[in-house]
Homo-oligomer: A and B are copies of this chain.
Amino acid sequence: MDFNENNATEAVLNSFARIEDKRLKQIMNSIITHLHQVVKEVEPTEEEWMKAIMFLTKTGQKCDDRRQEFILLSDVLGVSMLLDAINNRKSNEETETTVLGPFHAPSVKINNGDNIAKTVSGENCIVSGKITDVNNQPVSGASIEVWQSGPDGLYDVQKGDDIVDLRATLETLDDGSYMFRTVKPQYYPIPVDGPVGDLLQNLDRHPFRPAHIHFMVKSKGYKDLVTHVFIDGDKYLESDTVFAVKKSLIRKLEHGIDDESKEKCLLLNFDIVMEKE
């Protein structure tokens, strides 16, 4: 029988008959069923379909070693956060997770107390906290990878100069504590010079993310934790363009004195609770 509106989905699902990998078959079945349903609901014109084809094409072509426009697309459509929710269902009192984002990159090792701001300047800030398990026991020797944008709103990898900045890996001490120096993070727009930026404009959505520092914490025997700490009072906490804010991850910046330089600085405390594997 000829392929038509009524048998189209079935015809394509039938073409998957020889797939042996059950998981792949399940994924393809779900994608085809919903993709066809979108086409049936929306009834795109050939012109609209070509616009979609060109949008996806440009999104792929915007990607390179430093830029992942499809992850950005997944982020602004709430897909990354949905995936995060599904893959990190909370069972205990462990710290909540949030998106990895497109700016994770190779890091450099530092010692506790080091300053991760190498070339940028801004308001000095000391970030510290303690990593414990759900029974409040310290997790020593845990690896903490942190990365953030500078006061200009840019991550190092967006600058194209190969300098690793505002990005480092350190280890918790015996009592589970950690500390590093940096500059105060700022809210910033996601990169808008590509198809995702054009899309946000067409959707009449702003491109901003509230100020945050990314954390990826790993320790043997514990579940890897990917999260952010957000800064209380930021104007974009309620409308993060990638939907990644969770109230439990917001912390107040306090005013204090840096013990070493004896100068005024900001203090940000972020304790983390890890879950056993």
A-to-B contact residues, CB < 8 Å: 2-5, 8-9, 11-12, 15-16, 18-21, 24, 26-28, 30-32, 34-46, 48-49, 53, 56-61, 63, 68-71, 74, 77-79, 81-83, 85-87, 96, 100, 202-205, 239, 243-248
Pick the residue among B3, B44, B85, B246 that contacts A81 (CB under 8 A): B3
Closest to A45 in B: B87
Q: How far, in whole Å, are A272 and B100 apart by their CA atoms in the complex?
A: 56
A48 in contact with B20 given A39-B86, A63-B60 (CB within 8 Å): no
CB–CB B5/A27 < 8 A: no
**How far does the alpha carbon of A32 sit from the alpha carbon of B3 in the complex, in Å?**
27
Nearest B-chain residue to A8, judged by Cβ: B82
Return A236 CB to nearest CB of chain B, in Å: 13
B45 touching A12, Cβ below 8 Å? no
Contact of A28 among B3, B27, B81, B203 (CB under 8 A): B203
Question: How far is the CB of A217 from the nearest CB of chain B, in Å?
Answer: 16
**Is the CB–CB distance between A8 and B81 below 8 Å?**
yes
